[in-house]
């Protein structure tokens, strides 16, 4: 149900209505217009013309709907380009948004615009050829958008119009196939991963942290000297996450599902007060480290370990700035959880390296000795009720 609501229904996108609604246009355009792509591929391979035209009035409805969606997708992409490059919204120009992340987003938006223009122009020229009763071009389809400007081709020869139609056909097909090859290298890999990523969302209440079973067992054994460890029990050898090997597969899927939209960072109270922490950067850095490890495995084998780790990408200052408020988790359109990675890395800092601010150390010492974070002995904890 979470996947249906969040991934399919785009419920978290429309929290910001303008961007959310326009993203829905692109989302629907990408999914639904590809039905038309199936037809034009069949026509190209088999030499047919509008092979699904036997659907009659329903076919006309489909083509008309595709054209309206294509226009809405085109307009949405233009608006998104303007938001990034003209209005220059702050979240698209933060320090983690280096040259490639910005050019990656722009390249995809421009490609979408060109593909929609090619699709509509192909239909416009096709409608003119249909109107001339040429052999092969059977009359089929409704063209509410391309029909508006199809008249600009009316003075051209049949051959010239056919050439334009075929060029648009080839551009559309090659553009889509090229996009599919580029997809795994781009932030737009979320098109593939967003549904499974949302499906495997953490459904526990936000803010509920998990205890490490190994630590829980150690504490139980300390509290009860007569306790015996369970069969096969091994003392913990590490705590938290130093590198991607210590993260869960869901953490790694989160990293590849990140759309780099920056909604998480825009609501982060630490970031808003000028601190270095950016939840988006945490996810991008995790993905960069994951790709680096993958290349090393390809080159040297799966047992290879280099001298780097996540702390070469993510600064301790960033991790310590997190307030654990879950605002980033709540804001993410595809239910990514940057806080889990931050928490695991902080566990490593504190439990493995004993690195923490002096204030944290004082608090933990008082909890250990007094059972509370305040400078009062346990025997004095109830003194505040005296005289009440």
Q: Which has the closest alpha carbon to 324: 275, 279, 372?
A: 279
Per-residue pLDDT tens over the stretch 228-253: 777 877 777 788 899 999 999 999 99
| Domain ranges within the chain, ordered by starting residue | 2-185, 213-370
SS3 assignment, position 203? coil
What are the backbone dihedrals phi and psi of residue 18, each rounded to the nearest 5 degrees, phi first?
-65, -55
3-class SS of residue 252: helix
Rounded to an integer, the average pLDDT of 6-34 is 88
Question: What pLDDT shows up at residue 388?
Answer: 63
Which CATH code is given to the segment(s) 213-370? 1.10.1060
What is the C-alpha separation between 134 and 137, in angstroms, rounded?
A: 6
pLDDT tens track for 270-307: 999 999 999 999 999 999 999 999 999 999 998 888 98
pLDDT at 69: 92
Task: Give me the pLDDT at residue 61, please.
Answer: 92
Task: Kindly list the distances between the CA atom of residue 13 and the CA atoms of 5, 30, 41, 264, 378, in Å, as whole numbers in the listed order.
Answer: 11, 16, 32, 12, 49
């Amino acid at each position: 149900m979470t996947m249906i609501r969040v991934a399919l229904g785009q419920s978290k996108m429309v929290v910001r209505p303008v961007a959310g609604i326009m993203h829905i246009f692109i989302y629907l355009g990408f999914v639904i217009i590809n039905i038309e792509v199936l037809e034009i591929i069949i026509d190209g391979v088999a030499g047919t013309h509008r092979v699904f035209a036997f659907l009659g009035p329903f076919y006309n409805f489909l083509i008309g709907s595709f054209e309206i969606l294509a226009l809405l997708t085109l307009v949405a992409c233009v608006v998104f380009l303007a938001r990034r490059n003209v209005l220059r919204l702050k979240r698209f120009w933060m320090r983690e948004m280096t040259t490639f992340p910005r050019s990656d987003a722009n390249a995809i938006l421009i490609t979408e615009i060109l593909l929609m223009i090619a699709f509509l122009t192909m239909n416009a020229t096709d409608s003119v050829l249909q109107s001339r009763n040429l052999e092969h071009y059977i009359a089929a389809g409704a063209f509410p958008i391309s029909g508006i400007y199809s008249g600009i081709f009316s003075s051209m020869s049949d051959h010239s119009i056919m050439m334009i139609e075929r060029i648009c056909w080839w551009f559309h097909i090659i553009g889509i196939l090229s996009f599919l090859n580029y997809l795994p290298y781009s932030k737009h890999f979320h098109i593939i991963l967003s549904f499974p990523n949302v499906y495997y969302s953490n459904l526990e209440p936000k803010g509920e942290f998990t205890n490490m079973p190994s630590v829980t067992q150690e504490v139980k054994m300390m509290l009860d000297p007569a306790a015996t460890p369970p069969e096969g029990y091994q003392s913990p050898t590490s705590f938290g996450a130093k590198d991607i090997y210590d993260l869960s597969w869901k953490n790694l899927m989160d990293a590849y599902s990140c759309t780099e939209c920056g909604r998480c960072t825009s609501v982060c109270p630490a970031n808003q007060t000028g601190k270095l922490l950016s939840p988006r950067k945490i996810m991008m850095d995790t993905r960069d480290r994951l790709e680096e490890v993958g290349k090393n495995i390809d080159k040297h084998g799966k047992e290879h370990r280099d001298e780097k780790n996540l702390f070469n990408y993510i600064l301790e200052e960033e991790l310590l700035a997190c307030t654990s408020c879950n605002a980033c988790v709540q804001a993410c359109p595809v239910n990514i959880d940057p806080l889990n990675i931050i928490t695991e890395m902080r566990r490593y800092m504190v439990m493995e390296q004993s690195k923490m601010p002096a204030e944290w150390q004082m608090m933990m010492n008082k909890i250990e000795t007094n059972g509370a974070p305040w400078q009062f002995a346990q025997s004095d904890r109830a003194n505040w009720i005296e005289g009440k």
